[in-house]
Amino acid sequence: MIGTVVTQKASGPVLDDLVLVVPELIFVGTALLLILIARRIRKTPVAIVLTVAAAVAAALSAVWFAPAEPTTGFAGMITVDGYATFFRVLIAATVGMTTLLSVRSIVGEEVPRGDYHALLLLAATGMMFSASAIDLLTLYLGLELTTLCAIVLVGIKVDRPLANEAAIKYFLLASFASALLLYGIALTYGATGATDFAGIAAALSKEGLASAPFLLVPLGLVTAGLAFKIAAVPFHAWAPDAYQGASAPVAAFLAAGSKAAGLAALGRVCLVAFGSETEVLSLLLAGLAALSIIAGSVLALSQTDMKRLLAYSSIAHAGYAVLGLLAGTGEGVSAMMTYAFFYVFMTLGAFGVVIALGKRGEELDRYQGLASQRPGMAALMLLFLLSLTGIPPTAGFAAKFVIIQSAVRADHIALAILAVVCSVISAFIYMRVVVLMYMKDPQEAAPSRVPIAVTVAIALAALVTLVGGISPGSLTAWAVSP
């Protein structure tokens, strides 16, 4: 069970603690180096090479330095277990692919390369700390580091009014969500006398909601703060505007990396710290999942901007992923992790095609006749859209199958049916793009040549999407609960 598998160990020397955060140290060190040499690398690919190298090194070190048993460090503030390692590798992969997808944006437009990649790395550092945090304060700091860097990334093109507006909206709503989360942490400490997950769980096991109903308030506030991070309804309003205003690579990073980190944090908090209140949490999470699936699917129907369409798609997918947490079991969490893994790659792939097509890729109507001009790119977009819909033999089908199965086994039959119905609605959404690509005549010239780095990232996403659909266990066999 999730609440009992963290093996507490005495904090060792500082060196032992530092070994636990080698991936984070690699990201921070590379970010600082990029900041120092930012002025010297404005017209060179050094920042891209360093960031991709850091992502690969962080992923390898996360696996290489993973302890045989779950181990805590820094006085019980973080833990390194299979759960944390899974999300660390996933976040590192997201950074690497986002960097490759950013080549066209940062070369074609005047974006400060060193600063841009440093922000990506620092945001990913916060995501990794969020996945391994076992204390609410560490979790808060990790999430805030991610959010602050993400806000700057959204508005990094200062000459674009739409980007500035999106960054301001994101900042205001993120500040409100952070206040909710911080207030929830304060009330949790006041009620339980602890901020570490083990201490909170112990206090709640002695004095549950039956004898102390006021504990519902901090539970609801913490859940609301984390729901904002994954853009779950009704805390989703920032996502469409932020995705539309940001450059496509930044939108892809938010849709994939931020979602994965938020799900990692939500899973550990709900099922470790508040694991004794499964019944109440199940109701809260069921509400978030149902609202997100319905709103994301329905609101996407009217979108004409591809980034906004994918934003509402990400809201719906957040709802699907949350279904795995309803049962409060290790099997459900493994289903959520599987969903998060495949979602990251198919989303990055879809955004990759948008990036490859340039300005044409951001407007839905401009996909007309793409199959006759760029058959390969149209086929890749078709693959990713089929996966987002959940049609076999793609990874999206495997992901939705395991997540809906976990909801059925948790006796949430109505939610499982809702998920299936909304999948049908989403099929109509995505097939609109397919009809434009394959059944309409082109209205403009063929898109320009795609950079090799962008092609590599899209090809990797397509490979994972195909292999995940044919043999999902080969990629997610290590998706184990904390």
Sorted by where each begins, the domain ranges of the chain are 2-476
CA angle 300, 123, 398 (to 5 degrees): 45
| Per-residue pLDDT band at 110 (split at 50, 70, 90) | low
pLDDT at 7 over 50: no
pLDDT for position 10? 42
pTM of the model: 0.92
- Phi, psi dihedral angles at 479 (to 5 degrees): -80, 90
Distance of CA 480 to the CA centre of its chain: 18
Q: Does residue 378 or residue 14 have the better pLDDT?
A: 378
Question: pLDDT per residue over 208-251, tens digit each?
Answer: 666 566 778 888 899 999 999 999 988 888 999 999 999 899 99
pLDDT at 21 over 70: yes
Average pLDDT over residues 185-193: 89
Residue 152 and residue 140 in contact, taking contact as beta carbons nearer than 8 Å: no
pLDDT for position 3? 41
Torsion of CA 408, 285, 199, 202, to 10 degrees: -50
Average pLDDT over residues 197-210: 80
Q: Cα–Cα distance between 19 and 124 in angstroms, integer?
A: 18
pLDDT at 4 over 50: no
Token pair for residue 84?
Answer: 């944390």
